Amino acid sequence: MMRFKFLLAIGFASIFLACNSRAQQVNLSVDEFQKAIAQSNIQLLDVRTPGEYQSGHLKGAMLADWTNPNEFQTRAKALDKSKPVYTYCLSGARSAAASEWLRENGYTAYNMNGGISAWKRADKPVEQAVEVAQISMEDYLAQIPKDKTVLVDFSAVWCPPCKKMALVIDSLVKTNGSQFVLVKIDGGQQTSICKQMNVDAFPTFIVYNQGKETWRKQGLVEAKEILSNF
């Protein structure tokens, strides 16, 4: 009986140590996180709100707001499962939940303990949003010749689906570039024209023929569907 209790205690201790070890492996210190994201072929994900992101973020970070479930899942599903995802938020709670969701859905994900607050306390570099001059509707329309087919790509550098679609658009330009004019709008910065054009999600693609909008779609799109609307 004593031997059984002893072995049971050992078993519980082993489970506790294994769980604690696993937690340490997926929850990284600021220094460990910085070292990890310095590697190539990783994905860095800020899971805070857009307003928090604009107030300062880690260089190269994409954005998927954990407090907006539909947005988070849509953007997260555009991530590459073959590359690890490193998440962070303000203090580490939201990103811990986000990284757990990612792991449950087939991603390799890590979280930064203490979030960007701990990062700043450690005097690590943070990028600030830079205000840019907003283009007017007149400026926008001037980029759309009436005698050609035009594809307008509203994207943002921090948007995971946009990064995925960038490869599709680049390929489209290489193979069918003579059929259309590509106009790229940084929706993350050009918020005014996005509002005027009712673009409320990225990426958004709009096709113009003879100066008139003839097709529009948000999110991931196959190249053949875009071509079919030229």
pLDDT in tens for each of the 230 residues of the chain? 444 343 334 343 334 333 444 445 899 999 999 999 999 999 999 999 999 999 999 999 999 999 999 999 999 999 999 999 999 999 999 999 999 999 999 999 999 999 999 999 999 999 987 888 999 999 999 999 999 999 999 999 999 999 999 999 999 999 999 999 999 999 989 999 999 999 999 999 999 999 999 999 999 999 999 999 99
- Over residues 52-109, the pLDDT tens digits come to 999 999 999 999 999 999 999 999 999 999 999 999 999 999 999 999 999 999 999 9
Task: Write down the residue that tokens 């506790």 correspond to.
Answer: 16
Which CATH architecture best describes the domain 137-227? 3-Layer(aba) Sandwich (3.40)
Tokens of 220: 């991931």
pTM of the entire structure?
0.82
Alpha helices in the chain (DSSP H): 2-26, 30-37, 50-54, 69-76, 93-104, 115-121, 137-142, 160-176, 191-196, 223-227
Half-sphere exposure of 166 (CA within 13 A, CB side): 14
- Give the pLDDT confidence score for residue 77 in this predicted structure: 94
Whether 111 contacts 92, CB under 8 Å: yes
Of 57, 21, 63, 19, whose CA–CA distance to 157 is shortest?
63
Q: What are the residue ranges of CATH 3.40.250.10 in the chain? A: 2-121
Whether the CB-CB separation of 205 and 230 falls below 8 Å is answered with: no
What gap in Å lies between CA 151 and CA 184, rounded to an integer? 8
Residues carrying CATH 3.40.30.10, the chain: 137-227
**Beta carbons of 157 and 188 less than 8 angstroms apart:** yes
Tokens of 24: 């340490």
Q: 2-121, superfamily in CATH? A: Rhodanese-like domain (3.40.250.10)
* SS3 state of residue 101: helix
